[in-house]
Amino acid sequence: MSMITSDATDPVVLFSAVDLGYGDFTVLKEVDLRVARGQVVAMMGGSGSGKTTLLRATTAQIRPQRGTIAVFGQDLASLSGERLRQVRQRMGVLFQQGALFTDLNVFENVAFPLREHTTMTEQALTERVLDKLDAVGLRAAAHLGISEISGGMARRVALARAIVMEPELILYDEPFAGLDPISLGITAQLIRDLTDRLHCASVLITHDVPESFAIADQVYVVGQGKLLASGTPQALSGSQDPYVKQFLNGEPDGPIAFHYPITPAFTAWLEQQSGRP
Ligand SMILES: Nc1ncnc2c1ncn2[C@@H]1O[C@H](COP(=O)(O)OP(=O)(O)OP(=O)(O)O)[C@@H](O)[C@H]1O
């Protein structure tokens, strides 16, 4: 049961003219983006283009250099302490290394957030955990130890744990990385199904074009320090933008640079290096 009341029609995530970066280095400029309830949104782009930075900004781990970011209709810049914690509790984050506790079994790994953040009865907790394990196909694996499950199963346990608090927004960091083709398809379909079932919003950052295009409602492509394109997978497939085309087709030659760009910080470092005796 979620606490959605008057803000049910607000976008879940709304970036308005946002600049993001670290110190005086700006990674992305003028980003506008919107994620609605029930949507799967893919944030794509080459290595170092700023996908993880977008995720960090959404959880308020980093603050925008310019513009505003609203989550659940609340301006993140206005939140701190307890109110920020409450907003974060409505989000589930699935990190690439969804590290599980190896001294706890599958059930207790998924139960962990409930024991930390709620005062549910043992019966309600058991029901909730088994329901989420069922959603990822692992109800009957509840009793197994972490050393007894495969890598792909461990990912699904981490996913069950990420959704056990019934978040309204789920952020996935590279959910397809390192998966075999079958697990890739299963994971993508699982993300779509969970989004529909929980009626939450899902944001994934990924390089994987076919899998994310198969399940996403909206795709944002970042590169060259900005948002390059956005739209439905269908609309983007017809894009004539050379960067977008190169990215979507995985072509080695094109506007996407192989070399990390030279910055003043690098030049200063290099000068210092060569100045050494
Ligand atoms: N904590 C940090 N401090 C300074 N610069 C950072 C920091 N984190 C990332 N960057 C820089 O920000 C840029 C974007 O990094 P980010 O991790 O968002 O890219 P990405 O698209 O997620 O890349 P990848 O797909 O390779 O993980 C890079 O140039 C990176 O060097």
pLDDT value at 242 more than 90: no
Task: Work out the average pLDDT over 211-226.
Answer: 92
51 CB within 6 A, ligand 1: yes
Ligand 1 and 47: CB distance under 6 A: yes
More confident position, 68 or 190? 68
Q: Name the band, by pLDDT with cuts 50, 70 and 90, for residue 256.
A: low
71 lines ligand 1 (CB under 6 A): no
6 — pLDDT class (breaks 50, 70, 90): very low
pLDDT at residue 164, rounded to an integer: 93
pLDDT at 132: 93
C-beta 57 within 6 A of ligand 1: no
243, pLDDT greater than 70: yes
Name the pLDDT band for 108 (thresholds 50, 70, 90). Answer: very high
Instruction: Give the Å distance between the CA of 66 and the centre of ligand 1.
Output: 18
Quote the pTM value: 0.84
pLDDT, residue 180, reads: 79
Q: Hunting for tokens 């690439």 — which residue is that?
A: 96
Flag whether pLDDT at 257 surpasses 70: no
For residue 5, pLDDT beyond 60: no
pLDDT of residue 91: 93
Query: Is 60 exceeded by the pLDDT of residue 265?
Result: yes
Mean pLDDT of 210-216: 92
Distance of CA 274 to the CA centre of its chain: 41
Q: Tell me what pLDDT residue 98 has.
A: 67
- Range of lowest pLDDT (154-158, 234-238, 260-264): 260-264
Q: Hey, what are 217's tokens?
A: 């409602």
Our answer on whether the CB atom of 22 is closer than 6 Å to any ligand 1 atom is yes
What is the rounded average pLDDT for all residues in the chain?
A: 88
Nearest CA to ligand 1 atom 5: 22
Closest ligand 1 atom to Cα of 62: 1
Report the separation in Å between the CA atom of 54 and the middle of ligand 1, taken as the mean of its atom positions: 10
Query: Is residue 175 within 8 Å of residue 191, measured between CB atoms?
Result: yes
Say if residues 16 and 192 touch (Cβ distance below 8 Å): no
Q: What is the pLDDT of residue 231?
A: 94
| Residue 277 pLDDT level (bands cut at 50, 70, 90) | low
Q: What strand order describes the sheet that includes 40-45?
A: 74-75, 66-71, 13-22, 25-35, 226-231, 218-223, 40-45, 201-206, 169-173, 91-94
Q: What is the ipTM of this complex?
A: 0.95
Hey, what domains does the chain have and what are their CATH numbers? Answer: 7-90+167-274 (3.40.50.300)
Per-residue pLDDT band for 259 (boundaries 50, 70, 90) equals low
Report the separation in Å between the CA atom of 29 and the middle of ligand 1, taken as the mean of its atom positions. 14
For residue 49, what are the contacts with CB-CB under 8 A and spacing of at least 6? 222, 223
CA distances from 104 to 146, 215, 250 (A): 7, 33, 41
> Is 83 exposed, middle or buried, given 0-12, 13-18 or 19+ CB atoms closer than 10 A?
exposed
Counting atoms of ligand 1 from 1, which one is nearest the CA of 49?
21
From the CA of 234, how far away is ligand 1's center (Å)? 28
Q: Which residue has the higher pLDDT, 273 or 74?
A: 74
Ligand 1 contact via 266 beta carbon (within 6 Å): no
pLDDT score for 254: 62
pLDDT at position 114, please?
95
Mutational pocket test of ligand 1: of 19, 22, 28, 203, the residue with most ligand atoms within 8 Å of the beta carbon: 22
